[in-house]
Structure 1
Amino acid sequence: MMVQRILVLDGSPAGESACGMAACVLAEGDKLSVLSAEVVAGKQAAESINLLADTVLQKTGWGAGTGIQPDLVAVVVGPGSFTGLRASCAVAAGFALGAGCPLVGVTRAEALAPALNAELQHHPELQGWLVVTPARRGRVFVEDAQHVRAVMIAHWQAPEGSWLVAGDASEALSFSHAIHSPLCMPTPEQIAGAALKRHRGKLPPRDPVPLYVDPPEAKLPADGLRAQPV
């Protein structure tokens, strides 16, 4: 099936950048166009991302009662806000199920990668790129083309060489030499573009579930859970 209509959801931004985003994107060959988009800032915004999705679908004329459904739902799986990722991935799964279409997850760096790779072409002296995004408790998430990790800002040891550094926490880490990219958060078109690549098998498979970098903070009680009632 040719994918043309893409519903894009992103609840990953954390910290001061926290927000929820929903957009309807039209794919015409290699051209991606945003037909409608809604962004709401705030730490609780991602929890109401279903309302944003409803709004953009209604504005575009897609969804229940229109006879026109998305061909693909794309969701940012992380790294980022624990609550935002849970909410946006769950909402994305629900919309995909209702529309009867595939659901594809992408990371923030996967969405930004084409633009970052294009920037690298102008700086052959650079080792590569890093996407740095906020985490909690004095940490940031650092994502490169292969993997993502969480690092303590106070304990950060910059890799050797010169790097292109992007992301909304790019200034939090020190480097011996770095060029700071203006790219912070992926646009709906960039998310949709990465989702299409994954859907077409041009990116390795990835489950459309939250990408949790850190282990869960909640721990089982030392004495175990309560016994089942009798």
Structure 2
Amino acid sequence: MMVQRILVLDGSPAGESACGMAACVQVEGDKLSVLDAKVVAGKQAAEGINLLAKAVLQKVGWGAGTDTQPDLVAVVVGPGSFTGLRASCAVAAGFALGAGCSLVGVTRAEALAPALDQELQQHPECKGWLMITPARRGRVFVEDAQQVRAVMIASWHQPEGKWLVAGNACKDLSFSHAIYSGLCSPTPEQIACAALKRQQGVIPPRDPLPLYVDPPEAKLPAQGLRAKPV
């Protein structure tokens, strides 16, 4: 089915950048247009991203009570806020189920990759790009074209060579040689574009689930869980 209408959700930003974003994107050939978008700052905004989604859908006349449904729901799966990712991915799954459409997840760097690659062409001396975003407990998330990881700021060992560095925590890590990009957070169009590429098989598949970089903090007891009461 040809995708013409995309609901975009992003609750991934963490720390001081925490926010929730919902947008309705229209697809016309190769052109993506934002019909309406709402961004609200704060952790609570990410947790209440369902209200933002409802507001933008009502504004453009899509969704419940109308004859027009989104053809695709695109959600940013991370890296980022644990609570924001859980909330936004759950809300995205609910809206996709209600609309009877596909659900696609993308990472922040996957959405920004085309813009980062284009900027990288202007700096052939750079070995590649790094997307750096806030994490908890004195750490940041570092994402490149292949992987994402969490690193301690205090024990950071910079990679060799010159790099193009982006993201709203890029100044938290020290680099002896770096080109700093102004790119920080993906736009609704960039998220929608990455989601379309994933749906079309242009980029590898990824489950639309929260991308938890760190292992779970809670562990099962060594002897396992207690048996259910009889």
Normalised to the residue count of structure 2, the TM-score between the two structures is 0.97
2:172 matches 1:183: no
Unpaired runs of 5+ in structure 2?
none
CA distance in 1, matches of 2:70, 2:21: 17
For the residues of structure 2 that align with 1:104 and 1:40, how far apart are their CA atoms?
A: 23
Structure 1: runs of 5 or more not aligned: none
Count how many residue pairs are aligned between Structure 1 and Structure 2.
230
- Are 1:146 and 2:146 counterparts? yes
Residues 28-177 of structure 1 mapped to structure 2, 5 A cutoff? 28-177=28-177
Does residue 202 in structure 1 map to residue 202 in structure 2?
Answer: yes
Shift, 1:225, TM fit = 3.4
Return the offset for 1:43: 1.4
SS at match of 2:140: strand
1:224 shift after superposition: 4.5
What is residue 15 of structure 2 aligned with on the other side? 15
Return the offset for 1:229.
2.3
Q: Cα RMSD over matched residues?
A: 1.0
The answer for the alignment partner of 1:24 in structure 2 is 24
Residue 30 of structure 1: how far off its partner (Å): 1.2
Deviations 1:98-131 (A, max 9, x none): 1011000000000000000110111111111000
User: What is the CA-CA distance between 1:227 and the residue it aligns to?
Assistant: 3.6
- The alpha carbon displacement at 1:223 in A equals 5.9
The equivalent of 1:218 in structure 2 is 218
- Residue 228 of structure 2 corresponds to 228
Instruction: Specify the code of the residue in structure 1 equivalent to 2:129.
Output: W
CA distance in 2 between counterparts of 1:228 and 1:200 reads 46
What is the alpha-carbon distance in structure 2 between the residues aligned to residue 222 and residue 203 of structure 1? 40
Residue by residue, what CA displacement relative to the aligned partner does 1:37-74 show, whole Å, maximum 9, x if unpaired? 01111112111111110000000110011100000000
Taking the aligned partners of 2:147 and 2:224, their CA distance within structure 1 comes to 34
Q: Helix, strand or coil: the match of 1:93?
A: helix
Distance in 1, Cα, partners of 2:191 & 2:210: 15
Q: Alpha-carbon deviation of 1:228?
A: 1.8
Q: 2: CA distance between counterparts of 1:46 and 1:218?
A: 23
Percentage of matched positions with identical amino acids: 83
Query: Could you tell me which amino acid in structure 1 is paired with residue 80 of structure 2?
Result: G
Letter in 2 for 1:36: D
* Shift in Å, 1:176: 1.4
Tell me the secondary structure at the aligned position of residue 127 of structure 1. Answer: strand
